[in-house]
Structure formats: structure tokens, C-alpha cells
Amino acid sequence: MKTSLSDKSTLEEIRNRFDEDVERFSNLETGQQTAIDAPLAAELITQNAVAITPKAKTILDIGCGAGNNTLRLLQLLNPLDCDLVDISKPMLDRAVKRISEVNSGKIRTFQNDIRRAELQKNHYDIIIAAAVLHHLRDEADWEFAFSKIFQLTAPGGSFWITDLVSHENSFVQETMWNRYGQYIESLGGVEYREKVFAYIDKEDSPRPVTFQAELLRRVGFIEVDILHKNSCFAALGARKAP
């Protein structure tokens, strides 16, 4: 990553990009194609969320996009009261339309950043954050967000992450980044790789999966599990004590 944290995209810049990209995030089968193993990661977090909290009634989908992960969860557990958080109004509108077609539970939307959204503490049986936390910046920002998510999670509830990740060792980072580049090239060629890498450098600030697992424990979660990792993408989750 070449762009310093202070020069990364603002929330407004990120919102503008996602406002124009709703269609790409509306395919339940492929998910976000630039994320390696996106359908598998979504399947793993939703299956395990239901396994841990089979009587869940409430879900919070952070950075819900067009609603893919909530829709996958509803295939396994239905109905659910769904609270959807995203900074993009067009994404929220598409998510509500799709989710309401298959779910009789309540649906509420919050056009906001999770760090600012006013949500009920100790309320959500399942919380999902898919391809969104990489927009957090310094370590204090990450800890604030994870602490807030812990507070929002109901006792016995669970929190699930799929996301772009970095690596602790610089040589491993280079190796994995090159592998990811090869994957992106397979989707759209060298120019597409350069385009994706440019907006990642400008917009994202991922952290290692090890950092995130340790942070989950530090803020209070228990039973932290890494479900999957391939190159620069990972899926993990944790439970809050009953």
C-alpha cells in the first residue's frame, strides 16, 4: 500500500463509488467477484452463524451492500428482523427490495457508518460484516469499531467477518498480493488488475486476520474461529458469552 492512512478515500468518496456500483453487488451466486472465494466465504459464515445461534431472531448486516449475505442467511433461518447498515442509499434500497421478497420479519435501514450509527446494545443475535471493515483506518479506529460491535451483540450471539486482509510478514504479503493479482488478471486482464489495485490502494486499509482474531478476544468475544483463508481474503467469526 502506497497511500498513507491520512490520504485514503473519505467516506463521501467511498459512498459515491458504491452508489454507482449496485448491480455488481446484486448477484447472489457470485457475490463480489473481486473477492476471492466470495460465495464460499458467505456460505461458511452464514452456516456457522446458524449453527451457533439456531434460534436467532435479529440480524445486523454491516455494510450490507445489495443484501447478499442476509439473503444467504435467510435461506437457512427465516423469518428474521433485519437491520441493514450502509453508507449508500441505492445499496440499501436494493437490499430492502430483495430481502422483503423472501422475509416476513421487520426490515430497518440505517444510512450511516457503523461507527456513527445509533443502534441498540446487546440486541443482535447475528452480526455480519462482509467486505467492509477494510475501510477502517488506524488501530484505534479498528478497536473502536470492534468494541462497538461487541456491545451491540446479544449475549450468546455471534459476529462474522469476510474481508480483504493483509499479512504480518512483508515477504508473505508480497507473495499473497501477487497471487491476488493473478486472480484479478484472470477476471479482466492486466488493465483490470491495475484498476482494482489502484482503488484498493486509495480506499482500503486491511489488517491481518491474526490482528483481527486477537482484537476480537481483546474487546470481549470468545471462541474465535478462522473459517477460511485464501490469498488476501479470509472469513472468521466469534461468539459473545451468554
**Sequence-separated (6 or more) residues with CB below 8 Å from residue 220:** 147, 150, 240, 241
**Measured between alpha carbons, how far is residue 234 from residues 38, 122, 127, 131, 206 in Å?**
9, 26, 17, 10, 11
pLDDT at 54: 95
pLDDT at 30: 60
Q: Mean pLDDT over residues 33-58, rounded? A: 95
End-to-end, the C-alpha distance of the chain in Å comes to 40
In angstroms, rounded to a whole number, what is the distance separating the alpha carbons of residues 71 and 161? 16
pLDDT in tens, 208-230: 999 999 999 999 999 999 999 99
Say if residues 201 and 2 touch (Cβ distance below 8 Å). Answer: yes
Name the band, by pLDDT with cuts 50, 70 and 90, for residue 11.
confident
Residue 20 pLDDT more than 90? no
Name the band, by pLDDT with cuts 50, 70 and 90, for residue 29.
low
Q: What is the mean pLDDT of the chain?
A: 94
**DSSP string across 143-165:** HHHHHHHHHHEEEEEEEEEEEE-
Residue 161 bridge partners (DSSP): 129, 236
**Measured between alpha carbons, how far is residue 42 from residues 5, 59, 76, 197 in Å?**
28, 15, 12, 23
Domain ranges (residues) in the chain: 5-239
Name the band, by pLDDT with cuts 50, 70 and 90, for residue 21.
confident
Name the band, by pLDDT with cuts 50, 70 and 90, for residue 106.
very high
CATH, domain 5-239, list 3.30.465.10, 3.90.650.10, 3.40.50.150, 3.10.580.10: 3.40.50.150
pLDDT in tens, 123-160: 999 999 999 999 999 999 999 999 999 999 999 999 99
pLDDT at 123: 98
Burial of residue 33 (CB within 10 Å: 0-12, 13-18, 19+) is middle
